[in-house]
């Protein structure tokens, strides 16, 4: 059984108006435990809408989302957040800027636990857990636990957000262009950390990226969205040997369209 099954998902925005926009059009995807999937597609293809649908930020119009055999499509964002973690493009989104690094970590650590726990101050054993997680990042943040997240650079913040998203092992990790706002060197650093944590925790991961090199280099599987459906799905050996030229070819074969404009994929 797949870990997460997306079955015949439809999502239309502004239904019944002149701006009606059918963004997800019968999308099907079976995600296996341990899959690390790069998700690519042009601007407006529906990649973020797909992630928002999985996380519960958006309600789908039709179809089902099944996690470990149970439909979660009617579950709130809060309930789903116990199993599904996210890292966004904007470094300011993942952390509370007026809280310290350790306070941010505490919120992440207590996610999904009993309400009363929120009132408690941070214990020494919790602090130790946070310290270990931060040390793994190799950025020296473990020595700055009382510093406000506000004072961190974009790359440090994305690294912290990644540590928070995986502090309690999620069943699904969703990354929506989480390195796109960073300079190339910092982006590679955060990708390196991503690979490390995904491998160490054997996380099932969906990663949206416009960086074709990253899409090809990372993960065991790559899917391409086009007009609200998945038109390319490569994995294993085929994914390992994939070139951009082959990707264009696969797109052509499966969609009947010629991808003559790199921008469609590269954004």
Ligand X SMILES: Nc1ncnc2c1ncn2[C@@H]1O[C@H](COP(=O)(O)OP(=O)(O)OP(=O)(O)O)[C@@H](O)[C@H]1O
The footprint of ligand X (CB under 6 A) covers 13-14, 21, 23, 41, 43-49, 267
Q: How far is the CB of 58 from ligand X (least distance, A)?
A: 7
Inter-residue contact 260 to 75 (CB < 8 Å): no
Question: Which of ligand X, Mg ion, none lies near 211, with the C-beta cut-off 5 to 8 A by kind?
Answer: none
Q: What distance in Å separates the CA atoms of residue 1 and residue 67, rounded to the nearest whole number?
A: 10
Question: Which of ligand X, Mg ion, none lies near 44, with the C-beta cut-off 5 to 8 A by kind?
Answer: ligand X
Q: How far is the CB of 30 from ligand X (least distance, A)?
A: 21
Pairing state between β 36-40 and 204-208: parallel
Inter-residue contact 53 to 11 (CB < 8 Å): yes
Q: Is 211 in the site for Mg ion (CB under 5 A)?
A: no
The smaller minimum CB distance to Mg ion, of residues 49 and 133, is found at 49
Q: How far is the CB of 20 from ligand X (least distance, A)?
A: 10
Q: How far is the CB of 38 from Mg ion (least distance, A)?
A: 14
Question: Which of Mg ion, ligand X, none lies near 23, with the C-beta cut-off 5 to 8 A by kind?
Answer: ligand X
Q: Which of 5, 38, 48, 104 touches Mg ion by CB under 5 A? A: 48
The smaller minimum CB distance to ligand X, of residues 91 and 197, is found at 91
Pairing state between β 36-40 and 221-226: parallel
Question: Which of Mg ion, ligand X, none lies near 157, with the C-beta cut-off 5 to 8 A by kind?
Answer: none
Inter-residue contact 259 to 265 (CB < 8 Å): yes
Q: Contacts with Mg ion: how many residues (CB under 5 A)? A: 2
Q: Is 194 in the site for Mg ion (CB under 5 A)?
A: no
Which of 204, 76, 100 has the alpha carbon at shortest distance from 152?
100
Q: How far is the CB of 42 from Mg ion (least distance, A)?
A: 10
Q: Is 179 in the site for Mg ion (CB under 5 A)?
A: no
Q: Is 38 in the site for Mg ion (CB under 5 A)?
A: no
Packing angle of the helix pair 124-137, 184-201 (nearest 10 deg): 120
* Residues 6 or more apart in contact with residue 153 via CB below 8 angstroms: 186
Backbone angles phi, psi at 52, to 5 degrees: -65, -30
- Angle, alpha carbons 124-83-80 (nearest 5°): 115
Question: Which of Mg ion, ligand X, none lies near 155, with the C-beta cut-off 5 to 8 A by kind?
Answer: none
Inter-residue contact 88 to 176 (CB < 8 Å): yes
Interface with Mg ion (CB under 5 A)? 47-48
């Amino acid at each position: 059984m797949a870990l997460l099954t997306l079955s015949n998902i439809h999502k239309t925005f502004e239904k019944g108006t002149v701006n009606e926009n059918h963004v997800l059009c019968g999308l099907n995807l079976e995600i296996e435990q341990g899959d690390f999937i790069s998700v690519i597609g042009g601007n407006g293809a529906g990649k973020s809408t797909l992630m928002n649908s999985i996380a519960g930020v958006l309600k789908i119009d039709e179809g089902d989302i099944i996690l470990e055999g149970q439909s979660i499509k009617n579950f709130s964002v809060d309930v789903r957040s116990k199993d599904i973690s996210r890292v966004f493009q904007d470094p300011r989104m993942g952390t509370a800027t007026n809280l310290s690094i350790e306070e941010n970590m505490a919120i992440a650590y207590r996610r999904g636990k009993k309400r009363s726990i929120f009132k408690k101050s941070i214990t020494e054993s919790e602090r130790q857990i946070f310290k270990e997680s931060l040390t793994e990042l190799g950025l020296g943040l473990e020595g700055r636990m009382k510093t406000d997240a506000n004072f961190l650079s974009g790359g440090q913040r994305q690294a912290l957000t990644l540590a928070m998203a995986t502090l309690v092992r999620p069943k699904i990790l969703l990354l929506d262009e989480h390195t796109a706002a960073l300079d190339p060197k910092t982006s590679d650093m955060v990708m390196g950390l991503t690979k490390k944590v995904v491998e160490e925790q054997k996380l099932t991961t969906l990663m949206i990226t416009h960086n074709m090199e990253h899409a090809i280099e990372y993960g065991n599987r790559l899917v391409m969205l086009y007009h609200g459906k998945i038109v390319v799905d490569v994995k294993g050996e085929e994914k390992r040997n994939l070139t951009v030229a082959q990707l264009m070819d696969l797109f052509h074969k499966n969609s009947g369209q010629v991808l003559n404009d790199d921008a469609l994929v590269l954004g």
